[in-house]
């Protein structure tokens, strides 16, 4: 059953990654203005945050399987509306609803994985979920771009909808419920306050925010950096650089190197990984040599591989089944917030400072320091 969940995670993230190279040209083809196009790109992550929070409540109330299946079927239907959009405004609404429905999927899947894994194996299991996401990140953009180039952009949405239908069937047939809550109370934001105050959930959420800030900055600023380096084909070089870091993470996730996740303190791995990522962004501000950029992306891949499974493990270790769905809802809301702010803030830094990686370097390194201080405070309390 856990293997089925890995497939579901791949498909869920493929839904996001496959649209990266096509959503902007699709919006422009509908005569959307540049401002509206930017809103169309951003609104998915914004509404995804809302879906994460409400979905977290429903996951703990109605069960993992029911909400996972509901989210899958909802996204299946919503994807069919993309080819029907006639204006940028209609596409904006579709993206908004898509983000809400998609916001339920990932917290439900990770709550499921947390329920099914033991304390001793949880780190390695989370590494495999990272590999699933890495696979989607590598395959998605290339597949979306290839389909759009060789047929029609609309076919991308139809393909993903079919994949969601198949995934829904797998959920119904092979996935068993791992937890159903007994409390049927109404949604209240107050039920999330203890989770936000939990230092372990806070650590993981800040790490997720920092990680997505860094990735949002890369998506915006790396093509600019490659162009400044004098590459004759900056698009191809940028794609290779992003693939390099993705391949490094897969190597760490899928080889015996993944034993580090069960042997080392996940909080230490997160702090080290975020520090590595911040240091890479510092170097990206001052380096414009293509071979060095490749080396920096290899280092970035190691930083990413330290952070992702470890922060997911922290959330799972710090929660019981009773609250795990809500905890992952909070966690992935920070994830979505970082995705929204990363490219936007780096754009401001580029416009006014001429250093697009300055904001991400400052943010990630500051969060690394905050995480270290939180961890030291937790250690002091445990010794008291």
Distances (CA, A) of 369 to 21, 167, 236, 374: 34, 41, 35, 9
Residue 380's pLDDT is what?
79
Contacts with 295 (C-beta within 8 Å, 6 or more apart), sequence order: none
Rounded Cα distance, 223 and 229, in Å: 10
Percent of residues, the chain, with pLDDT higher than 70: 95
Q: pLDDT band at 60, cuts 50/70/90?
A: confident
Domains of the chain: 1-176 (1.20.1250.20), 190-384 (1.20.1250.20)
Q: Within a 10 A sphere around the Cβ of 54, how many other Cβ atoms? A: 15
Cα 381 to Cα 233: distance, rounded to the nearest angstrom:
54
**Whole-number pLDDT of residue 181:** 64
Pair of tokens at residue 218:
């890369």
Of the ranges 179-183, 270-274, 376-380, which is most confident? 270-274
Are 231 and 237 spatial neighbours (Cβ–Cβ below 8 Å)?
Answer: yes
Supply the mean pLDDT for the chain. 86
Q: Which of 348, 327, 306, 313 is nearest to 118 (CA)?
A: 313
pLDDT confidence of residue 184: 54
Q: 151 or 296: which carries more pLDDT confidence? A: 296
Distance CA 39, CA 25 (A): 13
Q: What is the pLDDT of residue 148?
A: 79
Ranked by mean pLDDT, the top range of 67-81, 145-159, 248-262 is 67-81
What was the pLDDT predicted at 2?
65
Burial 295-325 (b: 16+ CB within 10 A, else e): ebbebbbbbbbbbbbbbbbbbbebbeeebbb
pLDDT tens-digit readout, 173-215: 888 877 666 665 566 666 777 888 899 999 999 999 999 899 8
Cα–Cα dist 75/69, whole Å: 10
Q: How confident is the model at residue 96 (pLDDT cuts 50, 70, 90)?
A: very high
Report how far residue 127's alpha carbon sits from residue 189's, in angstroms, rounded to the nearest whole number. Answer: 31
pLDDT of 37: 83
How many whole angstroms separate alpha carbon 328 and alpha carbon 120?
Answer: 20
């Amino acid at each position: 059953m856990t293997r089925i969940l890995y497939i579901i995670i791949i498909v869920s993230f493929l839904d996001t990654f496959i649209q990266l190279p096509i959503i902007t040209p699709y919006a422009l083809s509908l005569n959307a203005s540049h401002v509206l196009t930017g809103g169309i790109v951003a609104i998915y992550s914004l509404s995804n945050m809302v879906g994460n929070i409400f979905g977290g409540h429903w996951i703990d109330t109605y069960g993992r399987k029911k909400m996972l299946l509901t989210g899958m079927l909802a996204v299946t239907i919503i994807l069919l509306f993309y080819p029907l959009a006639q204006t940028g405004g209609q596409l904006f609404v579709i993206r908004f609803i898509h983000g809400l429905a998609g916001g339920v999927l990932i917290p439900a899947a990770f709550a499921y994985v947390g329920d099914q894994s033991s304390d001793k194996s949880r780190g390695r299991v989370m590494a495999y979920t990272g590999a699933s996401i890495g696979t989607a990140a590598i395959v998605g953009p290339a597949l979306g771009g290839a389909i759009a180039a060789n047929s029609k952009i609309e076919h991308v949405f139809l393909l993903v909808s079919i994949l969601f239908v198949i995934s829904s069937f797998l959920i119904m047939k092979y996935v068993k419920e791992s937890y159903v809550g007994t409390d049927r109370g109404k949604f209240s934001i107050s039920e999330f306050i203890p989770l936000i105050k939990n230092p372990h959930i806070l650590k993981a959420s800040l790490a997720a925010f920092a990680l997505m800030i860094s990735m949002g900055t890369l998506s915006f600023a790396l093509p600019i950096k490659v162009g400044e380096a004098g590459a004759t084909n900056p698009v191809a070089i940028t794609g290779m650089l992003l693939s390099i870091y993705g391949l490094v993470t897969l190597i760490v996730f899928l080889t015996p190197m993944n034993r580090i996740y069960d042997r080392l303190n996940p909080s230490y791995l997160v702090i080290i990984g975020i520090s590595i990522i911040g240091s890479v962004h510092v170097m990206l501000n001052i380096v414009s040599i293509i071979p060095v950029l490749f080396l920096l992306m290899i280092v970035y891949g190691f930083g990413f591989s330290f952070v992702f499974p470890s922060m997911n493990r922290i959330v799972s270790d710090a929660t019981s089944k009773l609250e795990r769905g809500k905890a992952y809802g909070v966690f992935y809301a920070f994830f979505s917030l970082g995705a929204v702010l990363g490219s936007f803030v780096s754009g401001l830094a580029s416009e006014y400072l001429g250093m697009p990686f300055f904001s991400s370097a400052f943010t990630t390194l500051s969060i690394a320091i905050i995480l270290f201080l939180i961890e030291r405070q937790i250690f002091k309390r445990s010794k008291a």
